[in-house]
Structure 1
Amino acid sequence: MTNHARVKTHTTMDRDNTKQKSLQINNRQLSGVITAVATFLIIFLLLPGSFDDPAKEMIAIVTAGVVLWIFEAFPLGLTAAIIMLLMLLFKPVSIDVIYSGFASSAVFLIIGGMMLARAVNETQLARRITYSILAKWGGTSNGLLGCILVIPQIQSFFIPAAAVRTTLLLPVALDVLDTIGAPAHSNLRRKILLGVAFGGTISGTAVMTAAIGNILTVNLLKQFLGVEITYFEWFIYSLPLWITLIPGAWFVLNKCFPLKKKEQSFPKVKKEMQEIMAEFGPLDRKEKKCLAILTLTVLLWMTEPLHGLDLSIPAIMGVVLMTLPGVGCAHWSNVIKINYDTIFLLGATLSMGYALTESGAAEKIGKALAAPWVLSLIQDPIVAVIFIIVATQMFHLIMSNVSTAVVTLIPVYIGMSQEAGVDPTFICFTAALTCLHGYILVVETMPNVIVHSSGQISQREFLVPGLYMTLLMMVLTIVIAFSWWNWLGLVP
C-alpha cells in the first residue's frame, strides 16, 4: 500500500471514529434528555395534593436538572442554563428570586478569587513555591508524596478552585514521574497521581474560599436562617479534619501502593528541582508585589469578625491592587480571562436553592422525609452526625457535582432540622464537609476527573484507596464532632 493510500485509509478511519464517537455522545445526550423529561412529568403529575403547583414545579425542575447532571448529557453550565430557563418559563417563584443567585456576594467572591489566581499565574510565585518544596523534600517516594499532598493545601489560600489547583500541579507531578522513569501503571505512578487527586480534594476543607461548596453552604445558611459562618470560624471548625486527612491520605496511599527499597529514592529529581530553583533566582519585583497583595487579602479574610467586610470585598480589592498600573503585578486584559462556566453554574445553583425554599418545596420535602424514625435520628447529635454523613455520601455517589449536591441537600436538611426542632447549622455544616470529600468514583470531584483525564490511571485504581479515604473521613468527622466541635459549641 502506498503512503498516500495509508494516509487516506487512516483519514477515513479517523472520520469513522469521530462519527462513531459523535453518535455515542448523541445517544447519551438523548438518553439523558428523555429520562429528564420523563422524570419531570412523573414528579409533576404524581406528587400528592399536599404539594401546591409552585412546589411541584420546582421539585420537578430540580430533579430534571439533577438527571441531566448525572447523565452528563450537557456541560455543567449549559444544564444550569436549562434549569434557569425552566424556572423563568414556569415561574414557580418571582423573577427576582430566579435571578437572585447572580446578585449574591458568593458569585463576586468566586469571580474575584478566579481573577486573583490568574494574576498570580502571571508571576512565578506559584511555580516557585511548588518547585522549592519539591527541591527540599522530593528526593524520596515518601517525601515526594508528602510534597504532592501539601502543595495544594498552600495553594488553597490564594487559588479558589480545586480544579485550578489540580490543573497547575498535575503537569509538575507528571514531569517528576517522567524524570524518575516511573513505568506506566507502576505503584509509584499510581500513588503520586492519586496523591494529586486526593490532595486537591482535601485542600478545599479548611479554607472557606477554596471550594465553591463551602461558599454555597455559608450563603444558603445566611439567606435562609440568618446564620453567618465567618472565614475564621469555618477555618477553626474544620482545621482538625484538614490537618489529619493530609497524613491520613499519605498513610493510605503508601499502604495501598507499597514500593521496593530501590524504588524509594531518586536523587536525580531533587537535583533537577534544585536546578530549576536556581534558574528562578531571587524574588523579583512582581513576585514581591503579588505576595504582599495576597497576604493582605488573606489577612482581611481571616479577620472578617473584626472589620465586618463581606468576603467578596477583599477579593475585589485584591484584584484591583493586582492590576492597578504602577501598583500591581498583572495585566487586566489577562486577568479577566476566567472560566465563566463556573460562574454561571454557581449563580444558577444558588438561584435554584433560593427558589426551592421560596416556593415552599424544601419545606414540603423536609416534611415528607420527616418520618418519626428520621426525626428521632437527627435529634440525637451522635446519631445525627452518622446519619447525615452516610446519607450525604450515598447521595454524592449519585450526584457527582459538589455544588449541585450542596444546593440540593442543604435546603432539605434545613427543612428536616426545623421539623425536628434541632439547630440546622450543625447538620448543614456536617453535610457540606461531607459533600467535599469524594474519593471512590472519578466523577465525585473535579480533582479526580482532571487526574483521570491524563489517561494514566483508571477508575479501578481509585476504588480501594478511595474507599479507605472515605471511611477515614467519616470516622474522623464523627470523632472531631464530639470533641472539637462540641468544645467550640457547634454541636447543640
Structure 2
Amino acid sequence: MSKEKNKKEFKPWWILAAFLVMIVINLMPVPDALGVIGLRALSILAFAVIMWVTEAVKYPVSSVMIVGLMIILLGFSPVGDLGSVLGVPDLSGSDMLGTQAALSLSFSGFATSAVALVAAALFLASAMQITNLHRRLALYVLKIVGNKTNAIVMGTILVSIILAFFVPSATARAGAVIPILIGMIAAFNMSKESRLAALLVVTAVHAVSIWNVGIKTAAAQNIVAVGFINEAMGMDVSWLEWFIYAAPWSILMSVVLYFVMTKLFKAETNEIKGGRELIQSEIEKLGPIKPSELRLIVIAGLLLIAWATEGVLHPFDSSSVTLIALAVMLSPKIGVFTWKEVESTINWGTIIVFAIGISLGTVLLRTGAAQWLSDVTFGAMGLDNMPLIAVIALVSIFNILIHLGFASATSLASALIPVFIALTTTLNLGDSSLGFVLIQQFVICFGFLLPVSSPQNMLAYGTNTFTVQDLLKSGIVITVVGYILVLILSATYWQWIGLL
C-alpha cells in the first residue's frame, strides 16, 4: 500500500524530463531581446510547469525545488542593466546577481499582501470546518428548498453561492456540500452510481467553480492575479469592484447550470420522499447552535461588510481586514478557536505553493522573460492587428486549452498572469489593460472539464458518483456557454462600466 502511495507521490521520469527541458533551454543561444537571466527564468518556468502539470511530486515539494533552482540559476546570472528592476541597483552590467539577491527574489512572494490574505482565508475556512457552521448553513438551505429533485438541484446551487461569500476555499465549500448530498442519496437507498447522485454532486462542483469567478475572495488564484496586477500594473481591485465586474457572469452561469444539469442528467425520481425530515435529523445531530458559531457568524458578517465597503467606507484593504478578523478569531473568550485546534486543519503547503508561485511570476516580470514569452507566443498570431474582442476570444481559447493540463488554478495563474500582463504592453491596450487581465483570470477559473482540472473536482470524483464522461459531458456545455458569455459581456457590459 505504501509503495503504491509513493508511486503516486513520486514520478521519477517526469522529474527527469523537467530537469532535461530546463537544461536544454539553458544551453540554447540567448535571444538578444531576452538576456541570460531572462532565459534562465524561462527555464525555471518550464521546469515548474512540467512538475505542476504532471504532479511529479507534491506541489509544496516542487515549490521548494523551484526556490533552489532560482537561487542557483539566477544567482549565477549576469544581470546586465536589470539591476535596479531586480532590486540590486549597485551592480554593474557584468556582475552576477548573487545568491543572496536571488534568495530575496525567491522569497519575494512571501512579502506580498496577497499571501497574507490567502493565509488568513485558510484560517477562516478552517474556522467554518471546526465549528461546522458551513455544514449547518448548507443543511438549512437544503431544508428550505424541499423534496423535489429539481428544487434540491437549485438548493445545491444556492448553497454554493452563499458559502462562496463566507468560505474562501473552493475545496472547503465542496467538502461542506457533497457529504450532505451523499448522505441524502444513501438514506433513501439510492445507489452511488444512480443518475440522481451524479446530478447532485456534479451540480455542486460546477457551482463551486462558477462562483470562484464571481467573488474575489472565493479562490486563491484570484488573489494571485490581484497580487501581480498590483505589483506590475500599480493597480488594485477591491472586493466590491471585482464583484461588480464578475458577479453578473456567475449569476447568469448559475441559471445556465440549473437548466443544463436538469436536462442532461435525468434522475430516477422527481422527488426524494422524506428528504426534508432527513435534513432536519442531520441538523439535530449538529445540536443547538454553539456560542462559537454565533461569534463566527458575527465575525464573518462583519468581514463581508468590510470587504464590500473597501475603499468606500474605510481605507482598509481586503488583506488587512481579513488579518484583523483572524486576530479576533484567535483571541481568548471572544474568538472561535485556539491555535492548537487550528494548526492541524491548515494546509500549510498551500501557503508555500502560493507564495513561491508569486515569486516565480515576479521573476518572470522583472527579468523581462514574461514580456519576451508574450511577444513570441502571441506575436506570431498577429494579435496586434486584431480588435480587442478578437484578442480576448483567441487568448481565452488558449487559456481554456492549457488549463486541461493543470490540476491547480493557482499554479496556472502564477504561470500565465505575468504573460498576460506583458501582453497588454505588447498590444498597447492602455485603459483596457486591467480589464483584459481580469477577464483572463476569470477564464483561468474555468475548471469544468476534467476531474484533474481542480481540487474540488478531484474531491467530488473521489465519491464514485459520476464518471469522467459525466463531468466532461456537462463540462463541455458549461465551458462553451461560459466562453460565449465572456465574449458577450466583453462586447457589452464590461465596456459599459469602463472595464474595457
So what's the TM-score if we normalise by structure 2? 0.89
Counterpart Cα distance in 1 of 2:414 and 2:140: 39
1:19-418 pair list within 5 angstroms: 19=3, 21=4, 24-25=7-8, 29-50=11-32, 51-91=34-74, 94=101, 95-260=103-268, 263-278=269-284, 283-306=289-312, 307-337=314-344, 338-371=346-379, 373-376=381-384, 379-418=386-425
Structure 2 match to 1:488: 497
Counterpart Cα distance in 1 of 2:483 and 2:353: 28
Confirm or deny: 8 A CA contact 2:199 2:267 kept in the other structure: no
Confirm or deny: 8 A CA contact 2:53 2:405 kept in the other structure: yes
CA-CA distance at 1:127 after TM superposition = 2.2
Q: Secondary structure at the match of 1:156?
A: helix
Q: Which of the residues 437, 446, 470 maps onto 1:461?
A: 470
Confirm or deny: 8 A CA contact 2:26 2:39 kept in the other structure: yes
Confirm or deny: 8 A CA contact 2:392 2:487 kept in the other structure: yes
Counterpart Cα distance in 1 of 2:5 and 2:144: 47
Confirm or deny: 8 A CA contact 1:413 1:424 kept in the other structure: no
Confirm or deny: 8 A CA contact 1:253 1:465 kept in the other structure: yes
Letter in 1 for 2:335: G
Confirm or deny: 8 A CA contact 1:187 1:258 kept in the other structure: yes
Confirm or deny: 8 A CA contact 1:152 1:165 kept in the other structure: yes
Counterpart Cα distance in 2 of 1:473 and 1:196: 17
Q: Which of the residues 411, 429, 439 maps onto 1:430?
A: 439
CA-CA distance at 1:18 after TM superposition = 5.7
Q: Secondary structure at the match of 2:230?
A: helix
Distance 1:407 1:47, change over 3 A: farther
So what's the TM-score if we normalise by structure 1? 0.91
Counterpart Cα distance in 2 of 1:23 and 1:399: 21
CA-CA distance at 1:483 after TM superposition = 1.9
Confirm or deny: 8 A CA contact 1:370 1:419 kept in the other structure: no
Counterpart Cα distance in 2 of 1:158 and 1:72: 30
Counterpart Cα distance in 2 of 1:456 and 1:277: 24
Distance 1:47 1:164, change over 3 A: farther
Structure 2 match to 1:4: none
Counterpart Cα distance in 2 of 1:298 and 1:392: 31
CA-CA distance at 1:290 after TM superposition = 1.4
Q: Which of the residues 463, 485, 496 maps onto 1:476?
A: 485
Q: CA RMSD in A?
A: 2.0
Letter in 2 for 1:32: W
Confirm or deny: 8 A CA contact 1:369 1:416 kept in the other structure: no
Counterpart Cα distance in 2 of 1:228 and 1:171: 37
Letter in 2 for 1:197: V
Counterpart Cα distance in 1 of 2:132 and 2:471: 33
Counterpart Cα distance in 1 of 2:307 and 2:128: 18
Confirm or deny: 8 A CA contact 1:84 1:348 kept in the other structure: yes
Identity of aligned residues (%): 23
Confirm or deny: 8 A CA contact 2:192 2:464 kept in the other structure: no
CA-CA distance at 1:282 after TM superposition = 5.8
CA-CA distance at 1:313 after TM superposition = 1.4
Counterpart Cα distance in 1 of 2:120 and 2:399: 30
Q: Which has the higher helix share?
A: 1
Q: Secondary structure at the match of 1:305?
A: coil
Confirm or deny: 8 A CA contact 2:198 2:265 kept in the other structure: yes
Counterpart Cα distance in 1 of 2:461 and 2:287: 34
- Larger relative contact order (Cα-Cα within 8 Å, sequence gap ≥ 6): 1
Structure 1 match to 2:90: none
Letter in 2 for 1:255: K
Stretch moving more, 163-172 or 354-363 = 163-172
Counterpart Cα distance in 2 of 1:53 and 1:138: 64
Counterpart Cα distance in 2 of 1:440 and 1:124: 30
Q: How many residues align?
A: 470
Q: Secondary structure at the match of 2:351?
A: helix
Q: Secondary structure at the match of 2:266?
A: coil
Stretch moving more, 263-272 or 365-374 = 365-374
CA-CA distance at 1:151 after TM superposition = 1.2
| 1:175-202 deviation line (CA, Å, top 9, x unaligned) | 1111122223221111111112212212
| 1:452-487 deviation line (CA, Å, top 9, x unaligned) | 122332222211111001001101111122221111
Name structure 2 gaps, 5 residues minimum.
78-85, 87-100
Structure 2 match to 1:13: none
Distance 1:245 1:39, change over 3 A: same
Confirm or deny: 8 A CA contact 2:164 2:173 kept in the other structure: yes
